[in-house]
């Protein structure tokens, strides 16, 4: 929308523009604005994460190596080990993606159940994720090789 007059400038439809499949309770992520990009995670076989030009809506890239279906959490921007990245959690994985071209920096298998809603939390080189329905939480240390710590009902983050 144009902030001066409220007129529509561009629009995207996850289903028709990205080949996404609407999750049971609809789309609910908060798009991430990063500089001149809008980052969304419609999911799907054509590339689950998408970067759009925030002024025109033009697709800048799609993360073709991630084909998971979308859930309900939002993508976040973080710097881990000096590397800028976008982090998101799907029903199947937690992923880190390069902002420049959408390439996968790392991926850790992490199965959800029913609905994956909470947004990942990052502190230093750690990524914490959690979801309900008995799945619990995981803490991953992002290094040259992703490490998963044992699942716990409560794991303090300092």
Task: Tell me the per-residue pLDDT of 79-95, one tens digit each, with 9 for 90 and over.
Answer: 999 999 999 999 899 99
Number of residues that this document lists for the chain: 158
Supply the CATH number for residue 39's domain: 2.40.10.480
Say what the pTM is: 0.87
- Is the pLDDT at 123 greater than 70, yes or no? yes
3 belongs to a structural domain:
no
19-28, 31-40, 56-65, 85-94: segment of lowest average pLDDT: 19-28
78 belongs to a structural domain:
yes
H-type alpha helices, 4-153: 14-18
84 belongs to a structural domain:
yes
Total domains present in the chain = 1
127 belongs to a structural domain:
no
Closest CA to 134 of 147, 149, 153, 119: 153
């Amino acid at each position: 929308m144009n902030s001066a007059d409220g007129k529509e400038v561009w629009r995207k439809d996850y289903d028709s523009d990205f080949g996404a499949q609407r999750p049971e309770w609809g789309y609910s992520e908060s798009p991430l604005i990063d500089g001149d990009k809008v980052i969304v995670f419609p999911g799907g076989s054509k590339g689950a994460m998408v970067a759009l030009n925030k002024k025109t809506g033009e697709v800048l890239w799609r993360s073709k190596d991630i084909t998971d279906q979308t859930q309900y959490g939002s993508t976040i921007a973080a710097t881990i080990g000096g590397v800028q990245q976008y982090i998101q959690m799907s029903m199947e994985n937690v992923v880190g993606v390069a902002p420049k071209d959408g390439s996968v920096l790392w991926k850790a298998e992490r199965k959800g159940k029913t609905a994956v809603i909470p947004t990942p939390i990052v502190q230093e080189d750690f990524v914490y994720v959690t979801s309900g329905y008995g799945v619990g939480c995981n803490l991953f240390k992002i290094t040259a090789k992703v490490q998963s710590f044992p699942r716990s009902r409560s794991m303090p983050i300092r």
